[in-house]
Amino acid sequence: MAGKSGRTISATPDRSVLKRILSWEGALVVIFIGVLIMGRVLSPSYTLNNVLREMPKYLSEILIALPMGFILIMGEIDISVGSIVCLSTATATFAGNAGLPFPVVILVCLLTGLACGALNGFILTRWPELPPMIVTLGTQIIFRGIAEVALGSGGSASYANNADLEILGKKIGPFPIAFFVVLIAAAIFIVVLSKTTFGRKLYAIGSNRTAAAYAGIKVNKIRFIVYSLAGLMSALCALFILTTTFGANTTTGQNYEMDVIAMCVFGGIATTGGKGNLFGALIAGFSIVCLRIALGQININTQLILVIIGLLLIISVLISGITQSDWFRKKQLAAKQKKAEAAK
């Protein structure tokens, strides 16, 4: 397992500074700082206050990137998260407008997400041979469809009592609450993935699901938990989306699944499973958010922003592809042997 499970659980961790920078996570930190410097140089309005003010809208996507990281590490995918966000904002809006107290509204929102995630989990564990991509494509259409029916011909509903939502949208100093929620959630997910047996099992399932099952891992139970978790976190994201849109719209959360998968892949998580870690995804998420804000402020064509992020993705996949290819490994091995011989 250690051999195939990637950078984080290598048998003999090398802790030299150069190695750390050369690791993908280190490179991401450099990229992140690069993005901030670039933004500052190119746009006079790229100040801490402005970046933090624009951030909550983008930040909430990182909340979904965390469980998506789990799913990708298992070698699977969930493309229904954007629709879960949409449906959760809709139920929360209806609950709020029905006069329910705000804690109940939050509960309704989170339960909607959890139920959607659990439905994904149920289908995928009841019939484990089904491809997750297709199943979640189906539920993606279903969840958004339900939201569209519920929202009716107007396609949008506004939240009547904004005061409640404004509490969640508040700031502590210059930092929006969403910022702290993201950091806390990220800390929990990172610890679970890297320090617990649950996290180890995810890598095991991603490396070889059959072998993991034979090793006594309750594969389906874990898959069910992870998909439910993805639903729950999508609903949490929905809650913070509500603090900026103050209502539900049938297009809410559109393409979030792709943004989120991009964050994970850019963060070094392999979609084939078993590789990567969430620290990388977190830094990648923040880099993409700050890059988008910077590019927005210099008013380049918004389609060009998509092109740039697409390029970044391909470059990141290329780099991890190169470093993990047999060709590269053989070359490294040869270099090591040469060194060893020279030392003799």
Partner 1 sequence: MKKLLCIALSILMIIGMLSACAPGIDKSQASYALVTKSAGNPYNEKEAEGFEKVMKAMGVPAGNYIIKHPEAATVDAQINVINSLISQGVSCIAIAANDANALSSVLKEAKAAGIKIVTLDSDVAVEDRLTFCNQAGVTQVAQALVDAVYDIAGGEGEYAILSATSQATNQNAWIDAMKAITASDSKYSKLTLVEVAYGDDENQKSTDQTQALLAKYPNLKVICAPTTVGIAAAAKVLQDKGSSVKLTGLGLPSEMAEFIGDDAAHSCPYMFLWNPIDLGSLAAYASIALAEGKITGKVGDTFTCDMENSPYTLTAVEGTTASEIILGAPFRFDSSNIAEWAKVY
Identity at 92, one-letter amino acid code: A
Contact 112, 88 (CB under 8 A): yes
Minimum gap (Å) between residue 245 Cβ and partner 1? 4
CA 21 and chain centroid, separation: 23
Minimum gap (Å) between residue 96 Cβ and partner 1? 13
DSSP notation for 297-342: HTT--HHHHHHHHHHHHHHHHHHHHHHHSHHHHHHHHHHHHHHHHH
| Interaction between residue 287 and partner 1 (CB under 8 A) | no
| Interaction between residue 167 and partner 1 (CB under 8 A) | no
Using CB under 8 A, count the residues that bind partner 1.
61
Question: What six digits make up the tokens of 88?
Answer: 């959760």
Query: How far is it, in rounded angstroms, from Cα 119 to Cα 139?
Result: 9
Q: Which residues contact 162 (CB under 8 A, 6 or more apart)?
A: 246
In the bound state with partner 1, the residue whose beta carbon lies nearer, of 203 and 266, is 266
Query: How far is it, in rounded angstroms, from Cα 295 to Cα 26?
Result: 23
Near partner 1 by CB under 8 A: residue from 318, 333, 334, 335: 318
Query: How far is it, in rounded angstroms, from Cα 69 to Cα 41?
Result: 32
Near partner 1 by CB under 8 A: residue from 2, 30, 48, 187: 30
Contact 74, 223 (CB under 8 A): yes
**Which positions from 242 to 261 touch partner 1 by CB under 8 A, shown as an x/- string?**
--xxxx-xxxxxxx------
| Interaction between residue 305 and partner 1 (CB under 8 A) | yes
Give the range of 132-140, 178-186, 207-215, 294-302 binding partner 1 by CB under 8 A: 294-302
| Interaction between residue 194 and partner 1 (CB under 8 A) | no
C-alpha dist (Å) from residue 99 to 95, 159, 245: 7, 11, 19
**Which positions from 53 to 72 touch partner 1 by CB under 8 A, shown as an x/- string?**
xx--xx--------------
Near partner 1 by CB under 8 A: residue from 303, 327, 342, 343: 303
| Interaction between residue 97 and partner 1 (CB under 8 A) | no
Residues that bind partner 1 (CB under 8 A): 21-22, 24, 27, 30-31, 34, 38, 41-46, 50, 53-54, 57-58, 148, 151, 153-158, 162, 244-247, 249-255, 292-293, 295-306, 308, 311-312, 315, 318-319, 322-323
